[in-house]
Amino acid sequence: MNDLLRKLPIGIQTFEKLRKGDYLYVDKTELVWKIAYTSTPYFLSRPRRFGKSLLLSTFEAYFEGKKELFEGLAIEKLETKWEKHPVLHLDLNAEKYDSPERLYDILSRQLTLWEIQYGKGIDENTLSGRFSGVIRRAYEQTGSSVVVLVDEYDKPLLQALGNDALLDEYRKTLKAFYGVLKSTDRYLRFVFLTGVTKFSQVSVFSDLNQLQDITLWPDYGTLCGITLQELVDTFQPEIKILAANNSISYDEAVQRMTRLYDGYHFCINSVGIFNPFSILNVLKSKVFDNYWFQTGTPTFLVEMLQETEYDLRTLLDGIEAPSSMFSEYRVDSNNPIPLIYQSGYLTIKAYDERFRNYLLEFPNDEVRYGFMDFLVPFYTGVKNNDQGFYIGKFVNELESGDYDAFLTRLQTFFADFNYELNEQTERHYQVVFYIVFKLMGQFTDAEVRSARGRADAVVKTPKYIYVFEFKLHDTAEAALKQIDDKGYLIPYQADEREVIKIGVEFSTEKRNINRWLV
């Protein structure tokens, strides 16, 4: 095919449409066959827009015996029988769940479609009773065991987070509904559920104890997403076009894509996984941008961070988490990190086998700087997405040596800061500085520290090295003295660039930067 006519499957979530439409496809069918070969019920958690819907659609086509769709793929050499099974595919993704009645109506509507095909018992009135009846009749009428696929099983629960009453109603409804998958086990050939989170309070994980959670299994670490090898094998012509349009080499294009979109690890010692949504969009648009991050706003997650008074500096630098955190998510745990991880904003970067602790960090620059950009209006006086303008000005001012303009502009970030002055306020000031310098790090060599014994922040530009020390309960003079007394300048004595030390003091009355000395 002409490279200019190759079709990227953006927004294509149906395997049959993808194959018949001659779209490019990263072949995952060897893993699909490996999973389907057993009859074990499976659960897989992955972030949004990582290909879970396409994966379930692939299972659907496979269990419907549509051999022609798999020509030329890995599974063609593995499967010999191509048996046909009745498939019940429930997709809860593209709906809004704002009331118990809404959830009931959506489930009922799906059951009605199945009942049109397989019939309805006169005494089946509840959702669970109707679901059970459909599974049994599908088995009896076709003579084949039934396949149940549930896409985004937890979507109603996620939309109800923050509303305890609604969440409790959804739990009760889904507990009974998903519980059917255990009581009808004799009629089932295969069950696969996907979602973002593993909610501990829903019976799909407590009652359905034979469900295998393969989320962290090394064998399936690449089931969703794209590896580097898959990227260059499948999309080489598109990468060449992307490189040409950005006046960079092929290798530089791959490196930039890696920096922006790679870095997900869904198990210990996994190869890096690229975000498929961002990859397809950058190849289509030929413009490097934050595609995945822009499709979802983590407002609730940021509000959780604020409510729990979580120290953002820990999150931004990487956080250690025990392995028990990955087994389930409890809404009442008062810990936002599991949900932030499962939502795709953090990923596994290392594992301490001795103490069974994971190191979680931002997967890549798209998520790192997108998340920090999103934080700015929640923690500062800068609104309306103006932070990009400010960060650019900050970098330009320091590169030109205009530190007075930098600090004057920085005062804007503390405007309208109305927190009560207490210990939490001091942390809030520190967090704001932390976010600002971390955001500058994408354009220049900027470091910001939370530990004592090192300067609060260091920014290196082609001509200057700035060493900052900030004081909330002391003077700018004390800040400069600390830089000297603690030897913060020693690492830069041999550097040819001009080293500038800046002491900054805050005013508790003004709730802003008061003065600075250089």
Condensed to tens digits (0 to 9), the pLDDT of residues 158-173 reads 888 888 899 989 989 9
Count of residues making up the chain: 518
pLDDT value at 416 more than 70: no
**Averaged pLDDT for residues 307-334:** 80
Q: Which residues pair with 193 in a beta bridge?
A: 43, 150
pLDDT value at 372 more than 60: yes
pTM: 0.92
Question: What is the domain partition of the chain in residue ranges?
Answer: 3-220, 228-294, 299-365, 380-517
pLDDT value at 213 more than 50: yes
- For residue 322, the surrounding DSSP H or E stretch is strand 319-322
| Cβ proximity of 113 and 101 under 8 Å | no
pLDDT value at 181 more than 70: yes
pLDDT at 237: 97
* Same fold for the pair 3-220 and 380-517: no
Which residues, at least 6 apart from 192, have a Cβ–Cβ distance to it below 8 Å?
35, 41, 42, 43, 44, 56, 59, 148, 149, 150
How many whole angstroms separate alpha carbon 226 and alpha carbon 363? 14
Residue 82 confidence class, pLDDT cut points 50, 70, 90: very high
pLDDT at 202: 62
pLDDT digits (tens, 9 = 90+) for 18-65: 999 999 999 999 999 999 998 789 999 999 999 999 999 999 999 999
Q: Which CATH number fits domain 380-517: 3.40.1350, 3.30.70, 3.40.50, 3.40.190?
A: 3.40.1350
pLDDT at 1: 54
Residue 307 confidence class, pLDDT cut points 50, 70, 90: confident
Residue 328 confidence class, pLDDT cut points 50, 70, 90: low
Angle between helix axes 127-142 and 100-118 (nearest 10 degrees) is 20
What average pLDDT is seen over the chain?
Answer: 90
pLDDT at 103: 95
pLDDT at 422: 43
Instruction: Check residues 3 and 122 and name the one with the higher pLDDT.
Output: 122
pLDDT at 349: 95
| Fold (topology level) of 3-220 | Rossmann fold (3.40.50)
| Cβ proximity of 49 and 295 under 8 Å | yes
